[in-house]
């Protein structure tokens, strides 16, 4: 499949899935289409809108914001998405639909995701070296619309979004 066709398919899928997810009262965190030629896998990660931070509540302090996504939420979105995806026929081969929460190591995809992770430790892989490195596990100092700033060994490292290949929260147990 040519790259242009894959990009068009992903754009169309994103539009379709986001519409259903938002209509059902959730936020689309990420969408991945993978797998082989025979059977594809469509992974849809959802969350509840309205979070003000990704930080876990402190022990003994009541959590604020929406509750985490559970199995019932994933089943609800699966049931809503299945028929729409079948009618739209955006994936032209057999596929498995998986709907999940973002998990503890949630992906960071948008400037808003990075802003909600401010003050937390993140894992960032870059497309090109930044300050001589391509992999960072460091506290996220700030995030704006153009870049993130990490605290790496006492120095602030500025990473433009266009250089980020992948970013996730680092699980702190």
Per residue in 78-114, pLDDT (tens digit) is 999 999 999 998 888 889 999 999 999 999 999 999 9
Shared-domain flag, residues 25 and 79: yes
| Domain membership of residue 9 as a residue range | 3-100
- Give the model's confidence band at 2: pLDDT under 50 very low, under 70 low, under 90 confident, else very high: low
Shared-domain flag, residues 11 and 66: yes
Shared-domain flag, residues 123 and 48: no
60 Ramachandran zone, left/alpha/beta (phi>0; psi -120 to 50): left
Chain mean position to CA 98: 14
Sign of CA dihedral 26, 87, 110, 101: positive
Specify the pTM: 0.88
**pLDDT, position 3:** 60
Residues 6+ apart with CB under 8 A from 51: 65, 66, 116
- Output the average pLDDT for the chain: 92
Shared-domain flag, residues 91 and 16: yes
- Give the model's confidence band at 153: pLDDT under 50 very low, under 70 low, under 90 confident, else very high: very high
CB of 45 closer than 8 Å to CB of 29: yes
């Amino acid at each position: 499949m040519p790259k242009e066709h894959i990009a068009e398919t992903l754009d169309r899928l994103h539009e379709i899935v986001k519409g259903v997810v938002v209509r059902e009262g959730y936020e689309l965190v990420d969408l991945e289409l993978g797998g082989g030629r025979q059977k594809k896998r469509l992974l849809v990660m959802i969350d509840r809108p309205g979070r003000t931070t990704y930080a876990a509540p402190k022990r003994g302090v009541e959590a604020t914001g929406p509750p985490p996504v559970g199995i019932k939420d994933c089943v609800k979105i699966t049931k809503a998405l299945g028929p729409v995806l079948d009618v739209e026929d955006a994936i032209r081969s057999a596929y498995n639909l998986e709907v999940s929460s973002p998990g503890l190591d949630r992906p960071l995809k948008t400037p808003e995701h990075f802003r909600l992770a401010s003050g937390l430790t993140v894992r960032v892989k870059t497309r090109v070296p930044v300050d001589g490195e391509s992999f960072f596990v460091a506290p996220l100092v700030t995030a704006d619309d153009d870049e993130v700033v990490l605290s790496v060994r006492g120095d602030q490292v500025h990473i433009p979004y266009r250089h980020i290949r992948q970013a996730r929260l680092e699980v702190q147990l």
